[in-house]
A and B are shown apart, each in its own frame.
Chain A
Amino acid sequence: AQTVTQSQPEMSVQEAETVTLSCTYDTSESDYYLFWYKQPPSRQMILVIRQEAYKQQNATENRFSVNFQKAAKSFSLKISDSQLGDAAMYFCAYPYSGAGSYQLTFGKGTKLSVIP
């Protein structure tokens, strides 16, 4: 089965602190990308960061970084210096191939609350 698992339905963090959201996935491929998307109450899915599996260096975008453990099939998102605007649903996604296309398969999401 093609699965992406986010084991933390909800997380909270104090403003200015650091929080890590977990994600695991299942694949037999060796070369692929992984994505984290943010969905605020406005509903629009916004790309936060992406990781290339063949790169050993973890991706970083400003306050957002990933901890990519390829052998463990783990892809966690670290948010540093959390801000009120970071409050949202966060989805991990893997592009599985099927029937001629690459379909993003999402986890169930983690709801992040930021406490002032």
Chain B
Amino acid sequence: ETGVTQSPTHLIKTRGQQVTLRCSSQSGHNTVSWYQQALGQGPQFIFQYYREEENGRGNFPPRFSGLQFPNYSSELNVNALELDDSALYLCASSLAAGPSTDTQYFGPGTRLTVL
């Protein structure tokens, strides 16, 4: 059983640019959630995808968007980057979206720096 992987590990962008972060979920997991973790803080929920459809969103603007593909991979896209978008971005996969009982397994994260 493979774990959750993310790419790239680090990324440096300029304000106003667009970025795509990638995640490969654990095999068989239909749900992927994305979190933003600012330095010294706990992760904040961005959104969740279940079977390729958005299944819930946190308090993030529409310039944060995502995609989920049938092969258990997913993307987080951020347009018009702002300095405050600098953070660690984590994806987490889980078997199902419904029950609160389902455990989320995290990838190693992508560190995004916006200059």
Contacts and interface: CB of A to CB of B under 8 A. Distances in A.
Interface of A: 4, 32-33, 35, 37, 42-47, 50, 52, 91, 93, 95, 97-109
B97 A102 contact: yes
A33 B42 contact: no
Given A101-B55, A101-B56, A102-B97, A47 B105 contact: yes
Given A100-B55, A101-B97, A91 B108 contact: no
6 contacts: A43-B88, A45-B90, A47-B103, A47-B105, A50-B103, A101-B33
A99 B43 contact: no
B107 interface: yes
B33 A103 contact: yes
Contacts, number: 70
B106 A103 contact: no
B112 to A, nearest CB: 13
B43 A45 contact: yes
A52 B42 CA distance: 22
B81 interface: no
A102 B103 contact: no
A100 B56 contact: yes
B90 to A, nearest CB: 6
A106 B90 CA distance: 13
Nearest to A111: B40
Contacts of A44: 106-109
Interface in B66-115: 88, 90, 92, 97-109, 111
B58 A103 contact: yes
Residue in B35, B45, B102 whose Cβ sees the most chain A Cβ within 10 Å? B45
A43 B89 CA distance: 10
B46 to A, nearest CB: 9
B37 to A, nearest CB: 9
A98 B59 CA distance: 11
